Amino acid sequence: MPADFVIDVHAGVVFTKGAGVLGRDDVLQHNARLIAHADFRPQFSQLMDVSAVSKIEISVNELEQLTIPTVFERTSRRAILVASDLQYGVGRMTEVFSEMNGQTGVRVFRDAQEAFAFLGIDGVPPADAFTRLVSLSHA
């Protein structure tokens, strides 16, 4: 699956991990599953780790549209963690489109520690957070 998530209810954070080819339908399906999840709250923060995404098949127009119907509150903090210049560029476009739509808390990061600090998450090594939460959710 191109995008999966784990919700840490105690921290109030949704950890999303993307991998492989990511398209518009993948984002829409991710959002639908997130909204339907019993533990999800719109006021939660989100860490979107797209560093393992190898290809982005989303047009600029689709990206702009994807920022309009957000599942999070407009003031929720959402950190986009990237590894490549292409990912950074798409992340920055997401940030700008989100701001144009009144979402004030979307930021792009190349450094996981900085993303965690932005979200107010302390004491969890960024490289282990998603793996740890996935293992807990499947226990």
139 within a domain of the structure (yes/no):
no
HSE on the CB side for 135, CA within 13 Å?
A: 5
Separation CA 3–CA 48 (nearest Å): 9
State the pLDDT at residue 128.
Answer: 60
Is 40 domain-assigned?
yes
What integer pLDDT is reported at residue 3 of this predicted model?
84
Mean pLDDT by 10 residues, the chain (139 residues): 83 91 94 95 95 94 87 94 96 95 94 91 61 53
Distance between CA 102 and CA 22 in Å, rounded? 25
| Residue ranges making up the domain that contains 28 | 3-133
pTM score: 0.88
| Total domains, the chain | 1
User: How far is residue 125's CA from residue 128's CA, in Å, rounded to a whole number?
Assistant: 5
Which of these, 107, 79, 102, 103, lies nearest to 92 by C-alpha position?
Answer: 107
Q: Could you tell me if residue 138 is inside a domain?
A: no
Q: How crowded is residue 27: how many other Cβ atoms within 10 Å of its Cβ?
A: 18
CATH of the domain at 47: 3.30.750.24
What is the pLDDT at residue 16? 92
> Is residue 38, in this structure, part of any structural domain at all?
yes
Cβ neighbors of 2 (< 8 A, separation 6 or more) are 18, 19, 20, 21, 22, 23, 26, 53
Q: What is the pLDDT of residue 41?
A: 97
Which H/E stretch holds residue 13?
A: strand 13-23
Q: Provide the pLDDT for residue 112.
A: 87
| pLDDT confidence of residue 34 | 95
